[in-house]
Chains A and B, each alone.
Chain A
Amino acid sequence: MEGLPRVQTSAPDRDFKKAFAEALPPLTAQEAMVEANRCLFCFDAPCTHACPTHIDIPRFIKKISTENLLGSARTIFEANLLGATCARVCPVQELCEGACVLGKEHKPISIGRLQRFAMDRIAGRERTAIVLAASTGRHVAVIGSGPAGLSCAGELARRGHSVTIFEKRTLAGGLSTFGIIAVREPIEIALAEAQMIQSLGVKIETGAELGGNLSLADLQQRFDAVFLALGLGSTPALNIPGEQFIEDGLHYVERSKLDPANISRGEKVVVIGAGNTAIDCATIAKRLGAAQVTMVYRRSAREMTAYPHEYDFVKKEGVEIRFLTQPMRVETHDGHVTGVVCIPMELDPSSAGRALARPSGGPEFFIPADQIVKAIGQQKPGLAAMLGLQTNGGFLRVNEHFETSLPGVYAGGDCIRAKNSASTVMAVQDGKLSAAAIHERIMRQAHG
């Protein structure tokens, strides 16, 4: 992040590829075969129900076991064009694998890794596994090339529509490219997935920003429909003294993917927050060689938004988590961070729903640190008001067909999803269902 004091600028003295290698190695063909054969091939399988995109999981796994890898990839793509990303970033413990009937007494099938195997084996040839309908002559604009945008664009292309994605950044892929730690998804995978969507005929224009060099009214003129996959805004302010010395977690993750050799590397790192991005930030700091990484969270373990398996993961990385801890101000010396002053908190028993924290009245304490990163969630999509769209709790309001308050303008992904209901795979499903609704609308218009 420009303007921030660099704690330590070092030459790439370690093998970043190794430090950020995917947490789980790919399955070998033999491992995949053994695992695929372990699948019971349940009927009306619970894993398929649990998958937000309802991939026919037993079917794609059975096809791995019969060495029909093309058919396996096709089965995944039928339900989810972003199978390669989802295989890596999905919280499978909460979804497919969490529902596996073998999970109760045995080990669930490694569905995520099998899907990754099928996707890796089709990499570069995905087009052979996806059938495109004849051109309809209809045009759709998609704003944002994150998972929701790519999914919607690909599904529309599959139906024969001409799709242009407008992406404000210089690289496509959105969260997959910039916001998912390389340990979970290397940037090459995210970029290749965007290219795969392009291979279906989708155009991606980068550097094109809605509200900047693009206007919604103009897009509505030029296209038969518009799909907004805006994602979320930036990290909110903590509003504490010394905040300018705190690094933004989203930028921190981004730099670890795009430019790991020049990332700020602290010896003692404090990460503020306990969501999945905070976990990612702590993991990066640890992988970069920090001696001590401490996460601080104002509430308790019960309220943290990180998935339990992510929490387990980061504990194994050697990260300490201090609950009921509220940062109050950043201490510096000669423009260098020396630590953060915190106060102890307690849960307010009278708060309804997810418990709120309040100061317990205990004394301030100091956590020494030479780098502080905040990952305390993202602001709601900022464009709604400017675009004249109705919102719901700050998120874009859509009806059951993913249509916004403007006819012909649809939206999906994180920009419509209330907190804790957003994830890559949900965004993919939103994109898919939106594409079906958009198709319905523009074909009705075509024939009407």
Chain B
Amino acid sequence: MADLSIDFAGIRSPNPFWLASAPPSNSGAQIHRAFEAGWGGAVWKTIGPPVLNVSNRYGSWNYAGQRMLGINNVELISDRPLEINLREIAEVKRIWPDRAVIVSAMVESKREAWHTIVRQIEDTGADGIELNYGCPHGMSERGMGAAVGQVPEYCEQITRWVMEAAKLPVIVKLTPNVTNIVQPARAAVSGGANALSLINTVNSITGVDLDTLEISPSIGGKGGHGGYAGPAVKPIALNMLASVGSDEIARRLPVSAMGGIMTWKDAAEFLLLGARSLQVCTAVMHYGYRLIEDLCDGLSHWMDAHGFATIADVSGKSLHRISDFKNFDLSFRAVARIDEQKCIQCNLCYVACNDTAHQCIDLISPDGHIVQPYSYAVDSNGKHQASAFRAHPRVREADCVGCRLCYNVCPVDNCIKMVEVPSGRESITWEQLTQSNPAVAEDWEAMKEYRKKMGIHVH
């Protein structure tokens, strides 16, 4: 049975799953219920200066009947008075000594203001402080949140102020709304932070109402960018996690990762790319605290199956595989192979390959001939004729570049496999090639010559 407990920059929790600083961690009563459900920790919804919120603050991006693939919000930091939050933080921590209670904070960019809030948080008995440098709406207009996170100098300066006062571990939460997340991450390192967390929400507009032509959701006829989260942002979050984990300076700090974690599988992926704790928000907003059961259960089973004893064993296990294009093996070759027993003949691979990829899937009639689509007679009908005539897709492997589009569109699990085949060429990367033969990067004639020599045919 895997040990899911973690020690994250000195903050201990029985499992790596923390509620992210967000609506599900808005009050003591909520967090109490979350801990009852089994959450390992909670990052309290950001406390700070007074705010007022608006209605219609959450927008949802739905696709093909799936709700909330992405959620956009313009909710601000906690709109509950500071002293109430501080009192409830203290109460929750007293009742739940084994759980991680981290307090997210954001105040005016003044040294004294940060010193004050740090002292107030530390007086509650909380386990850590998270600096919200990410909130992309509202607070940023007041010079806080993303307004700090987007400028590495501010990020470093404020972190330094906080570290002057803080005795508890301090986590700097980064915004994804930057060109390169490594810069603010390095700034946090320079400022003396104990840890990083990422990603905050992504700038976004959910949509436009096609009946009213208003922005959706409409806030009294207006709308604007908010923070985007949920399963749709997971690949963005994974990339940023990997970027930070691959940077020689930024990777000195442990990362608490978040961004679209819906299932234990997502969680495992974040861990493999270097996360040491995990935060969850949208999944809980959609389905409630009860999700923690399968997050822990599924992760634990997976760790057992792979022989991982602890979260630390998992953390970063796949990070060394992150690389750049220039280091990929140009001689690696894979082709798509369709399992004709599993194929249901939806022929989505055919149209994808034909209209997008390399036109290397043929339709084969039941009697083995290449046929064109829609070639049946107009008086042919009925399920028996339709199935007797139905063509199935087959890859012409010699022409397949292994792009993997067919694999991605196939609706049947394990029907299309990407099979590694020998290319007959020595392994070589772009970097190695261009060092030994710089002309190939500049001159098409040289490239053609190289391809000819190596037997590389691109059609």
Residues of chain A whose beta carbon lies under 8 Å from any beta carbon of chain B: 33-34, 37, 40-47, 49-52, 54, 65, 93-95, 98-99, 101-102, 104-105, 429, 433
| CB<8 Å pairs between A and B, sample of 14 | A33-B65, A37-B65, A40-B411, A42-B346, A42-B348, A43-B348, A44-B391, A50-B381, A93-B383, A98-B383, A99-B382, A99-B390, A102-B344, A429-B381
Contact across chains for B65 and A50 when beta carbons are under 8 A apart: no
Within 8 A of A (CB), among B63-109: 64-65
Q: Which residues of B contact A93 (CB under 8 A)?
A: 383
Q: Which residue of A lies closest to B363 (CB)?
A: A44
**For the complex of A and B, 4 pairs with smallest distance between CB atoms:** A98-B383, A44-B373, A50-B386, A37-B65
Contact across chains for B344 and A101 when beta carbons are under 8 A apart: yes
A43-B348, A99-B386 given; 16 more Cβ-contact pairs under 8 Å: A37-B64, A37-B65, A40-B348, A42-B346, A42-B347, A44-B347, A46-B386, A47-B386, A49-B390, A50-B381, A50-B383, A50-B386, A98-B383, A99-B387, A99-B390, A433-B378
In whole angstroms, what is the CA distance A433 to B377 when docked? 13
Q: Which residue of A lies closest to B373 (CB)?
A: A44
CB distance from B362 to the nearest CB of A (A): 13
In whole angstroms, what is the CA distance A94 to B387 when docked? 11
Task: Identify which of A37, A43, A49 contacts B386 (C-beta below 8 A).
Answer: A49
Contact across chains for B383 and A95 when beta carbons are under 8 A apart: yes
In whole angstroms, what is the CA distance A81 to B65 when docked? 29
CB distance from B366 to the nearest CB of A (A): 12
Q: Which residues of B contact A104 (CB under 8 A)?
A: 344
CB distance from A200 to the nearest CB of B (A): 23
CB distance from B281 to the nearest CB of A (A): 26
In whole angstroms, what is the CA distance A99 to B378 when docked? 16
In whole angstroms, what is the CA distance A98 to B383 when docked? 5
Q: Which of B344, B345, B378, B385 has the most CB of A within 10 A?
A: B344
In whole angstroms, what is the CA distance A52 to B346 when docked? 20
Q: Which residue of B lies closest to A49 (CB)?
A: B386
Contact across chains for B351 and A43 when beta carbons are under 8 A apart: yes
Contact across chains for B345 and A41 when beta carbons are under 8 A apart: no
In whole angstroms, what is the CA distance A410 to B256 when docked? 77
Q: Which residues of A contact B391 (CB under 8 A)?
A: 44
In whole angstroms, what is the CA distance A104 to B344 when docked? 8
CB distance from A419 to the nearest CB of B (A): 16
CB distance from B439 to the nearest CB of A (A): 43
Question: Given A46-B387, A49-B376, A49-B389, A40 and B346 touching (CB < 8 A)?
Answer: yes
Q: Which residue of B lies closest to A34 (CB)?
A: B65
Question: Given A40-B411, A43-B351, A104-B344, A49 and B65 touching (CB < 8 A)?
Answer: no
Q: Which residues of B contact A50 (CB under 8 A)?
A: 381-383, 385-386
Contact across chains for B385 and A49 when beta carbons are under 8 A apart: yes
Q: Is B374 an interface residue (CB 8 A)?
A: yes
Q: Which residues of B contact A429 (CB under 8 A)?
A: 381
